[in-house]
């Protein structure tokens, strides 16, 4: 029976997720969904020093927000769990024993200083730095001596010499490595903590992962991990290495260089669909030109359309997808999105009115906030161009507008007709000063609905204020 295609995302909770992580996660998720397979989330928290519960919670929240639901992982345990590496110590111990028993791994007592010196000399000689093999053939006696001296060994994998390793990378094609280019690598630190190479590969195999998508920086790890799994008699997944995401300066995105985290983008009001639509097209061809609904994303993802060159993150592109995302928001979702940025309770139904008015006029919730004041509070001081608009029209215009309002009411077509009859103004000459007086600015939603949403008294007093401000005789 063939296993369902299974992918995974395996973050370390040592910080917030950034866009590069998000893209890797998204692609893995889409690959699974496109094939009707499974998506697993595994937490690589073996480094208790740097991992934190708070980061873990934040990462899980960010992934859920992006729409990446895992079939197995934290909160969705199954027989292959636990899905936190910090809870898998017994499993690792068992495999360490086996590796050592069968001669695939050996204890190494070399000090870090010794190794650093060796590395330096190798580098100076123009050789690649590699473990010199000092402890490789250490007998029982030698070990006993080190132990007696109180040294704690690391466990090293014995890389078989003289072999050529070949495999197909899911995105980069055929790869070939020589085992002679790979030094014996560490599987377990002296303090007993398992290292990435080991638990990452082992867990993938144990959790039934069939396709691993990860950053290009892991490409050279792949032969080691395949070697390791082979020694354990486990089936290795297929690996695909995604090109890195780089910033405008061409340097890889990293949190410490100010790359925005997913969480920050979210706090700034970006919509998950905007992020996903952008990411789908970053270093990946074949997506249609227009907006793709989140649920349809998987249908547009194909591994063979993933590029091999580093992709630049460009916020103006993200902004475009944000615009699309807002456009495709329904009213309820829009209210949820805008809600937190609006004042507590501008009054019954007021919030819904605001949302309806602003739906197509703002890109971020922050831009909506000032409108709450415009509609239901005191008018902020007019902008410069609004003020110019006011003076261009003059007090007579606003006096006429006030009189017209008493006759026609707040219905824009009727009101405009009445004002036109009294002032001779029409079109832009009529609407723009009206807008300026009513909102204190020159941009914003359509005037008709705006007028209908404003209390009649507010309209009156703002027209009067404009008349006074422009110098009523």
First vs last C-alpha separation in the chain: 91
Q: How far is Cα 144 from Cα 134, in angstroms, rounded to an integer?
A: 15
Binding RNA (rule: CB under 7 A), the pick from 7, 21, 24, 46 is: 46
Q: How far is Cα 183 from Cα 347, in angstroms, rounded to an integer?
A: 70
State in angstroms the smallest separation of the CB of 122 from RNA: 7
SS3 content of the chain, % helix, strand, coil (to 5): 50, 10, 35
State in angstroms the smallest separation of the CB of 12 from RNA: 4
Question: CA distances (Å), 201 to each of 102, 207, 239, in order?
Answer: 18, 10, 11
Indicate if 255 belongs to the active site. yes
Q: Do 41 and 28 form a contact (C-beta atoms < 8 A)? A: no
Comparing CB distances to RNA, the nearer of 158 and 435 is: 435
Comparing CB distances to RNA, the nearer of 189 and 266 is: 189
Identify residues 416-455 at the interface with RNA (CB under 7 A). 427-428, 431-432, 435, 442-448
Comparing CB distances to RNA, the nearer of 65 and 196 is: 196
Contact region for RNA (CB under 7 A) — 190-198, 338-346, 369-377, 403-411? 190-198
Contact region for RNA (CB under 7 A) — 86-94, 230-238, 277-285, 347-355? 277-285
Nearest to 285 by CA among 309, 265, 316: 309
Q: How far is Cα 408 from Cα 385, in angstroms, rounded to an integer?
A: 28
Contact region for RNA (CB under 7 A) — 58-66, 203-211, 314-322, 346-354? 314-322
Identify residues 89-148 at the interface with RNA (CB under 7 A). 110-112, 115, 119, 123, 126-131
Nearest to 460 by CA among 418, 406, 423, 391: 406
Q: How far is Cα 140 from Cα 132, in angstroms, rounded to an integer?
A: 20
Taking CB under 7 A as the rule, does residue 218 contact RNA? yes
Q: How many CB atoms lie within 10 A of CB 449?
A: 13
Comparing CB distances to RNA, the nearer of 330 and 345 is: 330
User: Mask: binding to RNA, 355-394, rule CB under 7 A, as x and -?
Assistant: -----xx---------------------------------
Q: Do 44 and 284 form a contact (C-beta atoms < 8 A)? A: no
Identify residues 195-214 at the interface with RNA (CB under 7 A). 195-197
Comparing CB distances to RNA, the nearer of 179 and 361 is: 361
**Which candidate in 255, 300, 323, 417 is catalytic?**
255
State in angstroms the smallest separation of the CB of 354 from RNA: 15
Binding RNA (rule: CB under 7 A), the pick from 81, 294, 310, 395 is: 310
Taking CB under 7 A as the rule, does residue 219 contact RNA? yes
Taking CB under 7 A as the rule, does residue 149 contact RNA? no
Lookup: tokens for 244 = 């890195």
Phi, psi (5° rounding) for residue 157?
A: -85, 135
Binding RNA (rule: CB under 7 A), the pick from 35, 61, 190, 350 is: 190
Identify residues 155-174 at the interface with RNA (CB under 7 A). 172
User: Mask: binding to RNA, 49-88, rule CB under 7 A, as x and -?
Assistant: ----------------------------------------
Dihedral of CA 174/180/182/187: which sign? positive
State in angstroms the smallest separation of the CB of 204 from RNA: 13
Contact region for RNA (CB under 7 A) — 92-100, 188-196, 346-354, 417-425? 188-196
| Residues sharing a CB contact under 8 Å with residue 68, sequence separation 6 or more, in sequence order | 9, 25, 26, 29, 39
| Longest pairwise C-alpha distance within the chain | 109
Comparing CB distances to RNA, the nearer of 179 and 221 is: 221
| Residues sharing a CB contact under 8 Å with residue 278, sequence separation 6 or more, in sequence order | 317, 318, 321
Q: How far is Cα 227 from Cα 233, in angstroms, rounded to an integer?
A: 10
Identify residues 325-344 at the interface with RNA (CB under 7 A). 327
Dihedral of CA 95/98/104/105: which sign? positive
Enumerate the active-site residues: 255
């Amino acid at each position: 029976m063939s296993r369902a295609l299974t992918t995974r995302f395996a973050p370390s909770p040592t910080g917030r997720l950034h866009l590069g992580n998000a893209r890797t996660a998204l692609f893995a998720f889409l690959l699974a969904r496109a094939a009707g397979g499974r998506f697993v989330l595994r937490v690589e928290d073996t480094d208790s020093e740097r991992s934190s519960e708070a980061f873990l919670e934040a990462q899980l929240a960010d992934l859920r927000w992006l729409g990446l639901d895992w079939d197995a992982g934290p909160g969705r345990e199954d027989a292959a769990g636990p899905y936190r590496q910090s809870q898998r110590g017994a499993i690792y111990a068992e495999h360490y024993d086996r590796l050592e028993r069968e001669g695939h791994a050996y204890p190494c007592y070399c000090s870090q200083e010794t190794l650093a010196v060796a590395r330096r000399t190798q580098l100076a000689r123009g050789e690649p730095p590699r473990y010199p093999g000092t402890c490789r053939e250490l007998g029982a006696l030698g070990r006993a001596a080190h132990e007696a001296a109180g040294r704690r060994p690391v466990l090293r994998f014995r890389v078989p010499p003289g072999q050529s390793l070949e495999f197909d990378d899911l995105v980069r094609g055929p790869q070939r490595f020589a085992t002679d280019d790979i030094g014996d690598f560490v599987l377990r630190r002296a303090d007993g903590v398992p290292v990435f190479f080991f638990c990452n590969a082992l867990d993938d195999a144990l959790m039934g992962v069939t396709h691993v998508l990860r950053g290009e920086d892991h490409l050279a790890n792949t032969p080691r991990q395949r070697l390791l799994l082979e020694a354990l008699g486990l089936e290795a997944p297929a690996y695909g290495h995604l090109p890195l995401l780089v910033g405008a300066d061409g340097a890889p995105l990293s949190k410490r260089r100010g790359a925005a985290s997913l969480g920050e983008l979210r706090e700034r009001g970006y919509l998950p669909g905007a992020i996903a639509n952008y990411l789908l097209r970053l270093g990946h061809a074949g997506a249609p030109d227009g907006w793709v609904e989140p649920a349809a994303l998987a249908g547009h993802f194909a591994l063979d359309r993933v590029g091999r060159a580093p992709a630049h993150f460009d916020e103006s592109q993200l902004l475009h997808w944000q615009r699309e995302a807002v456009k495709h928001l329904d009213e309820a979702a829009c209210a949820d999105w805008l809600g937190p940025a609006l004042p507590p309770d501008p009054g019954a139904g007021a919030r819904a009115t605001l949302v309806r008015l602003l739906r197509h006029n703002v890109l971020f919730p922050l831009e909506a906030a000032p409108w709450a004041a415009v509609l239901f509070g005191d008018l902020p001081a007019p902008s410069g161009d609004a003020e110019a608009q006011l003076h261009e029209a003059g007090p007579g215009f606003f006096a006429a507008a006030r009189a017209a309002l008493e006759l026609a009411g707040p219905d824009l077509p009727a009101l405009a007709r009445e004002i036109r009859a009294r002032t001779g103004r029409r079109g832009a000459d009529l609407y723009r000063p009206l807008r300026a007086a009513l909102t204190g600015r020159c941009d914003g939603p359509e005037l008709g609905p705006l007028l209908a949403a404003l209390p009649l008294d507010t309209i009156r007093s703002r027209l009067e204020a404009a008349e006074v401000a422009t110098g009523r005789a």
